[in-house]
Amino acid sequence: MTHAGLKAAGGALGAGIVVALPASACPLAETARVVRYLAEESAGQCGPCLFGLPALAGALASLAFAGDRDGSVDEVTALASLVERRGACRHPDGAAQLVRSMLRAFPADVSWHQWRGACDGVRRPPLLPLPDDEERGWDWR
């Protein structure tokens, strides 16, 4: 796995982090947590970081935890397009690429959430080691 090899296949290694999710994890919920973290960790100096990333994180969380009752899949896709290549740095690009990667890699999970709402995986403890969600005031349930 190299940057050049992934680029040739239409992918990107991004920050160089690869996580193998167990079958019990919800890829949408884990991605929503990471995107929320990225939104909170931005410098907040340009529109894509100040407005776009929080909106993207919210739309993704809505899809993961409530289903597509408000057109979340379309909103997630549109917001990812709106933040990418518009920031003062590449931070929003990475978040958008992560979301697109999740949509491509887990279409069955996206479909489940779109039509049935939250899966059992969203009720499990988070897998990825991020700063304490409760400490930041994030309620993912």
What are the tens digits of pLDDT across the range 11-38? Answer: 777 666 777 888 888 999 999 989 999 9
- Describe the crossing of helices 53-66 and 91-105 by its angle, rounded to 10 degrees: 20
Q: Is 10 exposed, middle or buried (0-12, 13-18, 19+ CB in 10 A)?
A: exposed
Percentage with pLDDT > 70 across the chain: 86
pTM reported for the whole predicted model:
0.83
Is 5 within a domain?
no
Enter the tokens of residue 66: 């409530």
- Measured distance CA(26)–CA(37) in Å, rounded: 17
Is 138 within a domain?
no
The domain tally of the chain equals: 1
Show the domain range for 97.
26-118
For residue 89, what pLDDT is reported? 87
DSSP secondary structure code for residue 86 in this structure? -
CATH value at residue 74: 1.20.1440.230
Is 141 within a domain?
no
